[in-house]
Structure formats: C-alpha cells, structure tokens
Structure 1
Amino acid sequence: MFPIRDHNPSRRPALVTYALIALNVAVFLAMLPSYGDDRALLGLYSNWAMVPARISLGNGYYTLFTSMFMHGGILHIAGNMLFLWIFGDNLEDEMGHLRYLIFYLLCGVAAGMAQYLAAPDARIPMVGASGAIAGVLGGYMLMFPKARVDVFFFFIVFFKVVPLPAWLMLGFWFGLQLLGELGSSGDGGVAYLAHIGGFIAGALATYPLWLRRGGRVFWDRTNGAPPHAAARYRIQTTSVPIVRRRK
C-alpha cells in the first residue's frame, strides 16, 4: 500500500517543496553514472554519506545534511519524493517557506542523529531523504489528523484505491517503522531509527505551531480536517467501448 494523493489542497505554491524535489532528483541524476561503478559509488558514499563511525572520530558533520539528498536507487528516490509531494505542500502552507525549509533540514539532522546515537561505531553509510520526510509526516499528522489520503492497495491481482484519514495511514506507517526496527539485525538496509527519530522530531517541532493555531480548538473547528475545502477528484470515464463475450 502507498499513498497517491491527499484531499488537502495548499493555498499557495509550495515553492520550497518543489525545490527540494528538484534538488533531490538533480543529485540522483548526477550520481546515476556511479551506480554501475562500485569504486566511484564507494567514493561518493565515503565523502558525502553519513557514516556514524566517521562522525565519532570528529569529522564529517556536514554529511548529516548532504546525506539527505542522496539516494540508493530509483525506487528509493521515487518513494521518498512521492511522500514529500503529497504531504510537504500543506506544512509549507502553514509554516511559510523559510520556516518550512529550516524545519525540513532540522528533521533530517534529527533523523541522522537518531541513527547515529543508536550505533556510533557503525561503518554502514546512511543516505536518503526519508528521515526529513518522516518529520513532514509527523507534522502533517499533528496538524491534519483527519485529512483524507487516497491509498493504493495492491495484493497479487487485487488492487483498490481507498480514502483513509491521515492519522490512520500515517499511524500505520509509523507502526511499521517500529516493527521494522524491532526485527532489524542492524547490518544495513532500511534506517528505521532515522524514520522514527524524524517523525517524532517533526511532530515536536510542529507542536508550537499547532498551539498557536488553537491546539484542540483548531481540531474542533474542523473535526481534525484541513481548515479549508477538501479537494475533489473526478474519475474520468474511458472512451474505450466495452466488448461483451458472445455466448
């Protein structure tokens, strides 16, 4: 299952969100030739990915920032950018462009630190925007717990799009990260602790904004939905004629 869109339109162009997506894609394209060359890829990771053991030695602190713009493959960046595109614009709308950019970067650093503190001697490089985007998810769930999110379910030959409240979809996602961390062997793969740390950091960083909006009063005014009209999507009917099987 994965989200494909929400029913929460932003009121202003999400310039920072679009710029972050563009920057991530540009870095990925710049790295693309290295994916077929292990030596070149190792050099990139050694210089720009976040390696906990390197930070423990007192250098490479800048990689807490640079690593959040690197990705390990097409599915990695595609999934991350989908989540950022769906959920980032609304937080940017509420926070403003500059505050949202600072929020995003700080969530990414918090996510990296969560992974670092769990294993400061690890030599496995960490890359990806997942931690920063997890912060966006945490902030979104606090601000718009009942915003509707269209989720695509696929199981073998069965598929369906189901609208779910944000708290259910994002809460389920967060639960998967907890389960993933409990079952993780710690020898590489998904940085679940970075996701967990980023999500919590995002919710905490958004909490003052939520209070300024009125806290529970903000929720009560719209029953936890966005404080503006929800987007409506029309399903276009196909022009392809239906051919029935003859008996």
Structure 2
Amino acid sequence: MFPVADDNPTLRTPVMTLGVLVITWAVWFFVQGAGSPYPLAISVCNLGFVPGEISGQAPLGLGVPLGRFGDQALACVVDNEPINWLTPILSIFLHGSWGHIIGNSLYLWVFGNNVEDSMGRGRFLVFYLLTGVIAAMAHLAIDPLSPVPTVGASGAISGIMGAYLVMYPRVRVRTYIPPIFLIRFPAWAVLILWFGSQVLAGLPELSPLRREISGGVAVWAHVGGFVAGVLLAKLFENTELVRRRRAVSDAKVVWS
C-alpha cells in the first residue's frame, strides 16, 4: 500500500514542506552524487547516524563492508569524530537509493503539507527535526552496539504521520495497492495499519538472538518517530490556524 494523495486541501502554501523537499533533493544530487557509489558511500559513512559511535559501544576502527567501487573495496569505519553528534539531524537529509528518497518524498508531501497547515511553518520545521532525532534515539536504544550507518527521513516522516493521525484521522487518503488498485481509505486505517506493520517487523530485533550486525531497515526508528508525533502533535498545533481551517471547512458544509 502506497498513499499517493489525500482529500485534505491546505489554506496556505506549504512553504516549509516544499523547502525540506528541496533541501533533501539538493543533498541527494550535490552531496550524494545522485546515488553514484563513491559519493554515496562517503556521505553515508561520514554523515550517517551510527548508534555504536554515539553510545561508544562499537569498537573504534571496526569496518562495515559496503561492497566494491571499481577495484576498491568500500567500508564504513567506526570513529569518534565530533561531527558524529550532529548525525541524528544530518542523517535525516541523506538517503541510500533512488527508491528510498522517492518513497520518503511522497510520504512527506502527502502528510506533511496538512500538518504544516495546522502547525505553522516554524513549528513544523522544529517538529520535523525533533521527531527525526527522537526516532534516531529509539534506534539507538534498541541497537546501541550497531556500527551500521543509517540514513533517511523516515523517522521524521513517521513523526509527521503520527501527527496526521491525531489531527486528521477521518480524512480520506488515496492509496495505491499494486498492481492496479487505487482506493480511498480513512487516514486512521492507513496509518494504524502502517504502524502495526512496523511494530511486527521490529519485534524480532528485540530478541537477544538477533544481535548480529545487520544492515536492515531501522524499523524502531519509525516506531519511535510515529509515537513521538502522536504525543507531540497537540503541543505543536497552532490553535489559530486550526480555527481557520475549521471555519473554512464549516463554511463548505453550509454551502454544499
């Protein structure tokens, strides 16, 4: 299931959502080389979030193989550079593949513009970054030994999705179900189903038998970001913007 649009118009141009998308894509092209192996590897290794570096529990010098670039073998090496403390934020703007950035961009656009419309631009940006950092900390709590770098906006976008669930649970979301179906579901159904799938996918990681090095998806970052979004949504909500949205919505009902 892939959400592609919602029946939830905004009152203001989602400037901050668009800005985040522009920055994310600029980083993809100009820092990560649009997925070219060498700049992609450098950016992920140097700017990706590595739980073991933050916790100090991954051995310094430990290498994580990334494959080959020409006749060179690439690996990320655990270090203790000062920039590591910024990676919970920096990694939000990095991605690992075309599919990764396209999927995240779609989710951010579908759910982010309306959340921004109810928070305001400044609050939305703080909320986005904060839930992204909380998502990284959730991943750190589950796997503090991991030397594997993680990148992507998924944790922050999960926070946006959690806020959307609180703010617009009954809005219809147009959802693509491969291969050909496009169905409108209420947002609560789409988001709770997505959240449940993340929890189920993450349960094996809680087992002590699954502590080996893994390069899989950091699903507990998604869970942590989503829960943070649910809990913080009302705190970041701008009551005046919400009042305006409700007034416009009520007026449409009266004149329809």
CA deviation map 1:153-172 (0-9, x unaligned) = 114xxx21110000000111
CA deviation map 1:132-162 (0-9, x unaligned) = 000000000001100000001114xxx2111
Task: State how far apart, in whole Å, the 2-side matches of 1:87 and 1:13 are.
Answer: 14
Q: 1:128 to 1:85 in 2, by over 3 A?
A: same
Task: State how far apart, in whole Å, the 1-side matches of 2:238 and 2:153 are.
Answer: 27
Q: Structure 2 residue aligned with 1:170, among 191, 194, 199? A: 191
Is the counterpart of residue 126 in structure 1 residue 129 in structure 2? no
Report the counterpart of residue 81 of structure 1 in structure 2. 105
Residues 142 and 210, structure 1, Cα contact 8 Å, conserved in 2:
no
Report the counterpart of residue 127 of structure 2 in structure 1. 103
Report the counterpart of residue 9 of structure 1 in structure 2. 9
The alignment's TM-score, normalised by the length of structure 2, stands at 0.78
Residues 14 and 113, structure 2, Cα contact 8 Å, conserved in 1:
yes
Q: 1:28 to 1:163 in 2, by over 3 A?
A: same
Is the counterpart of residue 62 in structure 1 residue 61 in structure 2? no
Q: 1:10 to 1:193 in 2, by over 3 A?
A: same
Report the counterpart of residue 50 of structure 1 in structure 2. 49
Task: State how far apart, in whole Å, the 2-side matches of 1:183 and 1:82 are.
Answer: 28
After TM superposition, give the deviation of residue 33 of structure 1 in Å. 3.2
Report the counterpart of residue 115 of structure 2 in structure 1. 91
After TM superposition, give the deviation of residue 208 of structure 1 in Å. 3.2
Alignment of 1:141-160 (within 5 A): 141-155=165-179, 159-160=180-181
After TM superposition, give the deviation of residue 45 of structure 1 in Å. 2.2
Instruction: Look up the SS of the partner of 2:174 in the other structure.
Output: strand
Instruction: Look up the SS of the partner of 2:156 in the other structure.
Output: helix
Q: 1:55 to 1:211 in 2, by over 3 A?
A: same
After TM superposition, give the deviation of residue 181 of structure 1 in Å. 0.5
Q: Which moved more, 1:53-62 or 1:159-168?
A: 53-62
After TM superposition, give the deviation of residue 32 of structure 1 in Å. 4.3
Q: 1:69 to 1:165 in 2, by over 3 A?
A: same
Residues 127 and 236, structure 2, Cα contact 8 Å, conserved in 1:
no
Report the counterpart of residue 237 of structure 1 in structure 2. none
Q: 1:179 to 1:70 in 2, by over 3 A?
A: same
The CA RMSD measured in Å over matched residues stands at: 2.5
Unaligned runs of 5+ residues in structure 1 are 231-247
